[in-house]
Amino acid sequence: MSTIPGMGMVRGMGLTLRRFFAPKATIQWPEVHADVAPKFRGRLQLLYDEYGTLKCETCFQCAQACPIECIDMGGIDTKGRFHVHWGPPETYGERREESALRRSGRPVADHGYTRFEGIDLGPLDAILDAHDYDPGDMLAILEEAQAEYGYLPVAALRHISRVTGAWYAMIYGTATYYRHLRFEPPAVTDTPPAGTAQRGIEDGYRSALDAALGLGGRPS
Amino acid sequence: MATFLATPRQWPRVLTGRVDALAANPADLDAAVRAGAFEGLRKAVRDLGATGTIATLAASGLRGRGGAGMPTGQKWRAASAQPADQRYVVGNGYGADPAVHTDHALLSSDPYAVIEGLVIAAFATGATRAILAVRADDPALVTMLEGAVLAAEEAGFAGEDVLGTGHAVEVTVRPVQGAYMLGEETVLLKALEGRRGQPEQVPPYPTERGLFDRPTVVNSIHTLAAVPWICREGGAAYAAIGAKGSPGTALVQLRGPAGGGIAEVPLGTPLRDLVKLAGGTGPRPLKALLVGGPTGGLLPAELLDTPYEFDALRAAGAHLGSGSVVIADDRTCVVDLARLLTRFSADNACGKSIPCRIGLRRLSEIGDRIAGGRPKPTDATLLGDLAHDIVASGLCDHERLATLPFTSGMRYFRSEIDDHILRSTCPAGVCQPIAVAAGAAHRDHA
């Protein structure tokens, strides 16, 4: 503990100067790997594309992979449809946003409750019970939940996550991958027959192939 | 009920041999048993035993009909050698190629061949759970298959006690849908585990760590349907059919100007015979054969004598793939066709690996550029380099093979691609913007 004022500054600058004159080393990555501390995780950075829009697709894969669970995400999904969230709402990302709101003097909604619409969980519990709350049956659970509600409400995904113990990010990742699973009520209320979600892309391929071969008009 | 093209009488019918007997009702177990169903299982269980069955499979030389051509016996041996508390057998009947209906045809004409193959595979590898993954598109087929599995269980061909041996095989039919990539084995396993359908790096192969991290045999249903025949008739009889390196038969979806359909052909049949089977080339000359579906290669007319089998096709720059053979006559533009196929592959990429997600997109964009009349002079080189890099750094076979339309196009139809790039003309007259923007103007001044 120094008693002379400014001594800390001198010491710090001393270190800077020592480093400044120390020989420089170029590490031939990837052949040679730098020696990093075992807990080093790098710096998180969100990248923007050439149009200035965020490249992040909110896929949650980083949040899922993060070993110390320091990543939290919240916002509107990339298609602007509904609120997606990873991590407890009180972590800093949303809290910072919220504190800015509060400082502005406007009334602040409690997003913890208004984020998504509530649903009747009864039928969902029956589905989960039939599958023994087994995350290995996730696809079947999601398909049946969609058949029940017409789409996959966020509340349903959160409930499935809570009772099966599967991460919300995993469930969300599964549900966004398969074309027949959707997150908004369909325009037509009837349940579409199986395979409809892919039919567009497959019919498109067949007719384009026929057109390219000069076989237009004939079914393949 | 699917119909098959009539093939020459001397061609063996391994997969479609029972189709006529089951024409009235494919799910009729008694009729199937009268026609020889479950005899292979009986022989495997009673006479051969697990190791004997695998040895018979290895002797038959059967190779996986899913596209890659992995020897089936080797796969089963690897799975059975792996110590585990639980093993799985998965029959892949997803049939991802939208223009190929062989999976549907096989399942709807002879479901018991596939079920018997599944049970034999489970018996030989020591698995107690067998899963038949099919497309969810056709609910009638799914119901029929579930009924067929139930009937087989009641008759003692599957279920808790297979033919009184005490070996249990629980067969489940799992309808899957929602992604093209489900045809890839590790993706299908992910879907069966209820996870995002993205391929896993191999090795470890599924035979080591597959479904729920247990050793898993994933076979195409075409492979499984041949297994009962092999057990019944012996490995040597099967090895005698077809080509030396790839014995047996395969279901092929043929399509051409004069018609087409599904036929069972012995492997090693020259492509010329397949063209004949599809009704010939029609009034126009044949320009190219698209062999292998959306990720297939374009083979020129000079290669019509290439035998239809794994190794020869791969050497020629195509592959067996989905079992599709499409005849393209001179109305087809190679660039147009290749960019269409590449676009389909890019649209259906799962996005896990960057060479696939971005590389295939760039490939199809280069194709669009060439076809749209705005090529860069270096585009031919760029195509070749990019395709090479994708193949070198790919994660699964989807991306590695999705480069085939362009690489085979560059290999056999280079002059046509050069016409597009250097002379702004499309010899087939398909790529319109070129003719309008540059070609027509040049011709007027000449």
Read off the pLDDT of residues A170-182 as tens digits, 9 standing for 90 and up. Answer: 898 899 899 889 8
pLDDT band (50, 70, 90) for residue B131: very high
| Chain B, nearest residue to A193 by Cα | B137
What is the DSSP secondary structure assignment for residue B4, as one 8-state letter? Answer: B
B158 to chain A, closest Cα gap in Å = 23
CB contact under 8 A, A212 and B135: no
With CA atoms as reference, report the closest residue to B363 among B387, B397, B394.
Answer: B387
Q: What is the pLDDT of residue A94?
A: 54
pLDDT of residue A54 exceeding 80, the answer is no
- Percent of all residues in chain B with a pLDDT value above 70, rounded to a whole number: 96
Q: Is residue B219 within a helix (H) or strand (E), and if so which, with residue range? A: strand B216-220
- Between B8 and A126, name the one with better pLDDT: A126
pLDDT band (50, 70, 90) for residue B55: very high
Phi, psi of B267 (to 5 degrees): -65, 150
The overall average pLDDT reported for chain B is 89
pLDDT band (50, 70, 90) for residue B166: confident
pLDDT tens readout for residues B322-354: 899 999 988 889 999 999 999 999 999 988 888
Residue A186 tokens read as 């369909």
Q: What is the pLDDT of residue B440?
A: 44
CB contact under 8 A, B329 and A197: no
Strand residue runs (E) in B1-154 = 88-93, 129-135
Report, as an integer, the average pLDDT of A188-197.
70
- Between A172 and B439, name the one with better pLDDT: A172
Report, as an integer, the average pLDDT of B116-127.
94
Counting one residue from A and one from B, how many pairs have CB atoms under 8 Å apart? 100
Q: What is the pLDDT of residue B217?
A: 94
pLDDT of residue A218 exceeding 50, the answer is no
The answer for residues whose C-beta is within 8 angstroms of residue B72's C-beta and 6 or more apart is: B57, B62, B63, B64, B219, B223, B227
Which residues are B244's β-sheet partners? none
pLDDT tens readout for residues B351-407: 888 899 899 999 999 999 898 888 888 889 999 999 999 999 988 889 899 999 999
A170–B contact, CB cutoff 8 A: yes
Q: What is the pLDDT of residue B444?
A: 43
Q: What is the pLDDT of residue B439?
A: 45
Q: What is the pLDDT of residue A220?
A: 39
| Chain B, nearest residue to A196 by Cα | B137
- Chain B residues closer than 8 Å to A199 by CB: 137
Report, as an integer, the average pLDDT of B224-250.
92
pLDDT band (50, 70, 90) for residue A183: confident
CB contact under 8 A, A206 and B196: no
B-contacting residues in A 25-84 (Cβ below 8 Å): none
Which residue shows structure tokens 């409930």? A159
Report, as an integer, the average pLDDT of B402-430.
89
Range from A73-82, B48-57, B117-126 carrying the lowest mean pLDDT: A73-82
The DSSP result for B328-386, as a single string, is: EETT--HHHHHHHHHHHHHHT--SSSHIIIIIHHHHHHHHHHHHTT---TTHHHHHHHH
pLDDT tens readout for residues B270-315: 999 999 998 888 888 899 999 998 999 999 999 999 999 999 999 9
A120 to chain B, closest Cα gap in Å = 24
pLDDT of residue B221 exceeding 90, the answer is yes
A174 to chain B, closest Cα gap in Å = 4
pLDDT of residue A98 exceeding 90, the answer is no
pLDDT tens readout for residues A135-179: 989 999 999 999 999 889 888 998 999 899 888 888 988 998 998
Q: What is the pLDDT of residue B5?
A: 87
* CA atoms of B80 and A133, how far apart (whole Å): 31
pLDDT of residue B442 exceeding 70, the answer is no
Report, as an integer, the average pLDDT of B165-192.
91
Expressed in percent and rounded to 5, the helix, strand and coil fractions of chain B are 50, 15, 35
* CA atoms of B60 and B56, how far apart (whole Å): 6
Q: What is the pLDDT of residue B427?
A: 86
Q: What is the pLDDT of residue B422?
A: 84
| Chain B, nearest residue to A175 by Cα | B196
Burial of B246 from C-beta contacts in 10 A (0-12 / 13-18 / 19+): buried
Nearest Cβ partner for A220 among B99, B178, B192:
B99
pLDDT tens readout for residues B65-107: 887 888 999 999 999 998 989 999 999 999 889 889 999 999 9
B60 to chain A, closest Cα gap in Å = 34
CB contact under 8 A, B177 and A198: yes
Whether B215 and B75 have beta carbons less than 8 Å apart is answered as: no
Which residues are B259's β-sheet partners? B256
Report, as an integer, the average pLDDT of A40-57.
78
* CA atoms of B186 and B209, how far apart (whole Å): 10
- Chain B residues closer than 8 Å to A140 by CB: 194
pLDDT band (50, 70, 90) for residue A189: low
Q: What is the pLDDT of residue B443?
A: 45
- Between B274 and A200, name the one with better pLDDT: B274
Q: What is the pLDDT of residue A216?
A: 60
Nearest Cβ partner for A173 among B196, B257, B331:
B196
pLDDT tens readout for residues B254-279: 998 888 899 999 999 999 999 999 88
| Chain A, nearest residue to B288 by Cα | A213
| Chain B, nearest residue to A220 by Cα | B99
Nearest Cβ partner for B195 among A138, A198, A206:
A138
**Highest mean pLDDT of the ranges A33-37, A71-75, A108-112, B23-27:** B23-27
Report, as an integer, the average pLDDT of B126-146.
93
CB contact under 8 A, A141 and B136: no
Residue A204 tokens read as 């498109």
The answer for residues whose C-beta is within 8 angstroms of residue B60's C-beta and 6 or more apart is: B73, B230, B234, B235, B236, B238, B239, B247, B248
